[in-house]
Amino acid sequence: MKKLFFALAAIAAFSTVSAQHLGTEYRLKKVVEVPGRQGIAADENYYYVSDTRGLYKFDKNWNLVKKHVQSAENPLFPNPEMANHFGDIDVWNGKIYTGNEKFEYGRGYNIAISVYDAETLEWIEDIPWCAESGQVEVSGLAVDREKNMIWMSDWVDSRYVYCYSLETGKYYTKMQCRPMPYWCQGIFIADGKMLFAADDGESTYQIPDNIYIADISEVPYTGLKEGTEVVRDTPFSVKLDKKGNPVKRTGMIAAGAKAGRLDLFREMSDFRRAGEIEGLCIDPVTDELLVLNNRGTQIILGMSQGPFTDEGYTNEIHEVYIYEKIK
């Protein structure tokens, strides 16, 4: 009888920590102020928050237990001259996965998936970005734990999200978002579905941001192929020659894409103030939805321009909203 009891207890414990199941209705439980403005992730024992140039680790009572902030003495980025920005993050199997880049007024450069040790917050390795995929910025990423894949979102051009194999480290495919959740800031994957946190409201006018959802249970491989494509001058325009014709290049290009249908998951009208929604995740122990939001400053092309002093703000406030699953 004792053996049966312990076996059932072990199964129950495994089921608890392997949760991360999406609900259809959530209720705000509490709000926690944090030092980082970018991403939120959770494993069985800790929460992790990313700032533009920092990683923070909290216990489940939101006590800070470790931090790693960029400095000359203890660099956070392996190549500080090439990168200055984290977006949303995810944590899995003892590793923190971050979207890393050099970000300057609405454009990302030197994109990479930078992997950190969840225990020490120290850098482990980079998974190289595939420029031929068409991605021009990385605002966040999410691990598909069932398929052993990792996806990256693009804040500049949110028409697509981009998939890599964690087994090979190679580009796998991309998904076209239909309709497009513009200014996508963070993503998370559970139950074969992807959540998108979109900064598509308007903080100046107090219009709420939103979370969207898409089915990604089927993800066929497309990879790269030899081909010809137009050269983009900016993310939304093509480069022209002296005669006014589009400039083209021949080489490896994206061989295809999956079509993804997005639906509204939740309007974030219960934020204390409309601002800039960022990362999100599901707690694997409680199934709570955690969403990071910034408020109090004007944002231009993804960069803070100073506080709304007429409302009494003196600085930007970063908060994690914790929602309990109702059903």
Query: Do 95 and 131 sit in the same domain of this protein?
Result: yes
89, 237: one domain: no
Question: Looking at the structure, do residues 25 and 162 belong to the same domain, yes or no?
Answer: yes
Sequence-separated (6 or more) residues with CB below 8 Å from residue 145: 20, 92, 189
Query: Are 234 and 164 in the same domain?
Result: no
Residues 58 and 196 in one domain: yes
Domains held by the chain: number: 2
Tens digit of pLDDT for each residue in 23-44?
A: 999 999 999 999 999 999 999 9
Return d(Cα 210, Cα 198) in angstroms, integer.
6
The per-residue pLDDT for range 64-122, each reduced to its tens digit, is 999 999 998 889 988 888 888 889 999 999 999 999 998 876 678 889 999 999 999 99
Statement to judge: residues 65 and 133 lie in one domain: yes
> Which of 202, 232, 254 is the last residue in one of the domains?
254
pTM listed for this prediction: 0.92
CATH number at residue 138: 2.115.10
Residues 243 and 319 in one domain: no
Rounded Cα distance, 104 and 101, in Å: 10
For residues 303 and 320, membership in a common domain is answered with: yes
CA angle 227, 233, 236 (to 5 degrees): 90
65 in helix, strand or coil?
strand
| Residues spanned by the domain of 243 | 223-254
71 and 116, same domain (yes or no):
yes
Residue 207 shares a structural domain with residue 250: no
Alpha-carbon distance values, 261 to 82, 149, 200, 242, 258 (Å): 35, 20, 18, 40, 10
Asked, as a colleague might, if the bond just before 220 is cis with ω within 30 of 0, I would say no
Give the integer Cα–Cα distance in Å for 102 and 100. Answer: 7
How many CB atoms neighbour CB 27 within 10 A?
11
- Reduced to 3 states, what is the DSSP secondary structure of residue 275? coil
Dump pLDDT digits (tens) for 143-193. Answer: 999 999 999 999 999 999 999 999 999 999 999 999 999 899 999 999 999
Same domain for 208 and 233, yes or no, is: no
Residues 46 and 8 in one domain: yes
- Collapsing DSSP to helix, strand or coil, 313 comes out as coil
